[in-house]
Structure 1
Amino acid sequence: MRKIMIIGAGDLGRRVCGELAHRDRRWEVRLVGRTEDALQRDVNLIRFSALQQGCRSRVDYALTDLDDVARTAEVIAEFAPDVVFLAASLQSWWVITTLPAERFQRLYAANFGPWLPMHLVPVHKAMRAVRAAGSQAVVVNAAYPDVVHPVLATAGLAPHVGIGNVANNVPALRHSAGTILGTDPADVDVRLVTHHYVSHRLSRTTDISPTQLRIAILAEGRDALPDIGLSRLLKPLTTEYRRTGGMAGQAMTAASAMSVLVPLLEQREAVVHAPGPLGLPGGYPVAVGSGPVRLALPSGMTEQEAVDVNRSGQVEDGVRAIGDDGTVLFEESTMDVMRRELGYDCTTMPLSEAEDRARELGTRFARYRENGSVGRV
């Protein structure tokens, strides 16, 4: 019986746990969090609702705090999962969308890169626990894999693959191409290479630089993109194919997670889209489920070309470079926004300083959310 451990019992972790329970497979699913009463209630809701629909799920829970690496390692070793899904973050991406509109728009201009410490810290601790447990599980991470993974790769601690980001627009691209070609979207295959920065904007603008995106549209055995044209392909994503965002939009992220997790659990090879595979920056088409995770790039594209495309988007997201020792250099223009809005200033961050930076950033954002003030904390 294949086993999966979900570390992080927030909105995404609960959604994925529920999706797995409703698949009526003989998987063992363990949801891991910090608060027993909430975990017990969530797990009961998941397994009872699954049973109501005739699904024989095996779902339970365990307690740990990622700050306690030794305890987390014990929890992992005791369960011995085949797959670990990390759904833990100190501040989920959607939190800033709950700000008053004007304040949100000002802070949104900083892009996602400056928020890296909030995602890097819990994943770093989880990966230390995975190693301490001696686990051979495939580790799949949901927290900003585009940048978290290449940073942790410098310490030999990168998860195997991420979820979300690049994958979230692929269904809309298949619909767009299928409509133009007059074929079922299910018969259209996509190979998309792009960073979080670009994938996040595909539903907002068609003004995407060719240096930040590479895509092939495979239909009837050939690449149909030259016939369609990139602008024509992308435009419907900003109009009739726009989808709900914010927390409700996590349904798409959960679906992207399932596209990776199910083949891994079934040991069935599938070509999917995922960020941060093999510790690389940005997002790629990848083959998972049978053997090691590997790239499945558009025909004729080299790994270096794909990495270059993603590094171009990484700079736009606010991360200028990642050093060989894991030190992150942030873009000055994005940090200007953080200084102005939060009073937060971090142009260079060694991995060893990430936790202190996360703590400072969280405190400053809490004050900003409460009254919009900046200054010393």
Structure 2
Amino acid sequence: MDSVVVVGSGSLARNICFSLAVLADRPLTVTVVARDPAKSAEVAAIAAMRAALSGTPAGFRAATADLADTAALAEVLWAAAPDWVLHCASLQSPWEQLTHPSRWTELLSAAGFAATAPLHALLAAQVAAALRDSGVPARLLNACFPDAVNPILAGLGLPITAGVGNVALLAAGLRGALGLKPADHLRVLAHHIHLNRPEAPADEVLAWVGDEPVGDVTAALAALRGSARPELNAVTGHAAALLLLDLARGEVATNLPGPAGLPGGYPVCLAPDGTLGLDLPPGWDRAAAVAWNDRAGRREGIHVGETAVAFGGRTSAALSAVLPEFAGGFAVARLYEVAAAMLEVRENLRRSAA
């Protein structure tokens, strides 16, 4: 029986579990781990109901852990004995500007999504450390800004296999617009920033069906980009569920962010040794694809090197007013310090209404 741990109880974690419940075609145990026992129990219960209605061999159970307590989380992971851990918990909701506007959300609007990287990376790093310490031979997938967070995890020497969402979501949008079947070989190069239409056409997503480039990608992505972001979590969750089932079958040819800690998103396939390797179209090699994604990340305001994160553009400019020490970036080894400083700034700014 395959085993998966889903860390988190928010919208994305729920959508992943709810899709697994109806898609599972082989025995599967899913353990939902969250800080709030009521929420993890609720997700597991609703997913179990969906599985029962669908007649699938998926089972769901709940567990509770403080993600900051890596020793306790390692024990939970050891008990669950997963093949895969899918991390979906973050200290920063992407919907806060819609639900609780404040001077903090004004800052994020000015700085851009890149500024939130430390807050997405902190829990991911704690989960990765717990997985490492548990001794469980599971692999980690990260759903929280993986285009930038996965390289940070790699820089910290923590285990990371790949991410979900972003390029996978854009690939889903292209499949829908182009009328592609699941068997059609779609390759996509894209970064988180491409969830929005780029200012310059030359900076648009690159995609190929087979070896043939897709024309007018901008038009093909219009419906996805025009959809409400919270609604798109249903698509991201469904894509992640399909990925987990493909991994269980050992058959993967898809598009994922942050494979092996690389920046941005790439076409990938499952190598004979069970790792995810790049599946690039003719004329592209690893160095060129990484450089392309790095340029996209810099346009978003972030570059993650082997040992340091650099903020630029509007991200650096906006952070300089509230976090001058880290406005230009930080060494990855200082992640916990940077996240703590950012949380303090957030607490102060949240007290002021927008």
Is TM > 0.5 for Structure 1 vs Structure 2? yes
CA deviations 1:69-114 (Å, max 9, x no partner) are: 1111111112211111111211133333435599967733422211
Matched, 1:235 2:219: yes
Offset of residue 262 of structure 1: 1.4
What's the offset of the Cα at 1:296? 0.5
**Match for residue 201 of structure 1?**
196
Q: Distance in 1 between matches of 2:235 and 2:351?
A: 30
Could you tell me how far apart the structure 2 residues matched to 1:171 and 1:91 are?
25
Verify the 8 A CA contact 2:207 2:217 in the aligned structure 1. Answer: no
Superposed CA offset, 1:19-42 (max 9, x none): 212224310111111222332233
CA contact (8 A) 1:260 1:288 kept: no
- Cα distance in 1, alignment partners of residues 80 and 102 from structure 2: 44
SS at match of 1:209: helix
The alignment yields a C-alpha RMSD, in angstroms, of 2.6
In 1, Cα distance between equivalents of 2:157 and 2:235 = 30
The equivalences for 1:54-203 within 5 A come to 54-98=55-99, 100=101, 107-178=108-179, 188-197=184-193, 199-202=194-197
Q: Which residue of 2 aligns with 1:294?
A: 277
Assess, with a 3 A threshold, how the Cα gap between structure 1 residues 119 and 266 changes in structure 2: closer, same or farther: same
CA contact (8 A) 1:176 1:233 kept: no
Match status 1:217 vs 2:212 = no
Alignment check: 8 A CA contact 2:141 2:164 kept? yes
Aligned equivalent of 1:327, options 308, 312, 316: 308
- Establish whether residue 357 from structure 1 lines up as the match of residue 346 from structure 2: no
Give the SS at the match of 2:282. Answer: coil
Q: Deviations over 1:169-194 (max 9, x none)?
A: 1132234445xxxxx55565321112
Q: Which amino acid aligns with 1:189?
A: H
- Per-residue CA shift, 1:237-256, capped at 9, x if unaligned? 23x55453232321122123
Residues 1:4 and 2:4 are matched in the alignment: yes
CA contact (8 A) 1:206 1:234 kept: no
Normalised by the length of structure 1, the TM-score is 0.84
SS of the equivalent of 2:335 reads helix
Deviations 1:192-242 (A, max 9, x none): 112211x2214xx573334x6433233xxx5154xxx3xx3322423x554
Q: Which amino acid aligns with 2:77?
A: I
1:16 aligns with 2:16: yes
Go from structure 1 to structure 2 and tell me whether the alpha carbon gap of 1:105 and 1:271 turns closer, same or farther (over 3 Å shift). farther
- Give the Cα separation in 1 of the matches to 2:175 and 2:18: 26
- Following the alignment from structure 1 to structure 2, what is the Cα–Cα distance between the partners of residues 280 and 207? 24
Percent of aligned pairs sharing the same letter: 28
| 1:61 CA drift (Å) | 1.4
Q: Does the CA-based 8 Å contact 1:4-1:27 persist in structure 2?
A: yes
| Aligned-partner SS, 2:221 | helix
Return 5+ residue gaps in structure 1 as ranges: 179-183
Provide Cα deviations, 1:32-53, integer angstroms capped at 9, x if missing partner: 1122233223322221233134
Following the alignment from structure 1 to structure 2, what is the Cα–Cα distance between the partners of residues 235 and 40? 42
Aligned position for 1:40: 41
The 1:64/1:92 distance shift into structure 2, 3 A limit, reads same
Relative to structure 2, which stretch is displaced further, 279-288 or 53-62?
A: 53-62
Q: Distance in 2 between matches of 1:328 and 1:103?
A: 22
Contact 1:77-1:135 at 8 Å conserved across structures: yes
How many residues matched? 350
Are the equivalent residues in 2 in contact too, given 1:259–1:272 (CA < 8 A)? no
Distance, in Å, in 1 between the alignment partners of 2:340 and 2:97 is: 17
The answer on whether the counterparts of 1:265 and 1:289 sit within 8 Å (CA) in structure 2 is no
Q: CA deviation at 1:307?
A: 0.4
Question: Aligned residue for 1:181?
Answer: none
Tell me how far apart the structure 2 counterparts of residues 251 and 127 of structure 1 sit (CA, whole Å). Answer: 25
- Could you tell me how far apart the structure 2 residues matched to 1:63 and 1:23 are? 25
Superimposed CA distance per residue, residues 322-357 of structure 1 (whole angstroms, 9 cap, x where no aligned partner): 2x3x221211432222345xx343223223332232
Bigger mean CA offset, 29-38 vs 117-126 = 29-38
Question: Aligned AA for 2:16?
Answer: V
Distance 1:224 1:143 in 2: 29
Alpha carbons of structure 1 residues 13 and 285: separation in structure 2 relative to 1, 3 Å: same
Classify the secondary structure of the residue corresponding to 1:84. strand
Instruction: Kindly provide the CA deviation profile for residues 135-190 of structure 1, in whole angstroms up to 9, marking residues without a partner as x.
Output: 21121110111111112212321410111111111132234445xxxxx5556532
Supply the distance in 2 between the matched residues of 1:138 and 1:263 (Cα, whole angstroms).
14
Q: Counterpart of 2:311 in structure 1: which amino acid?
A: F
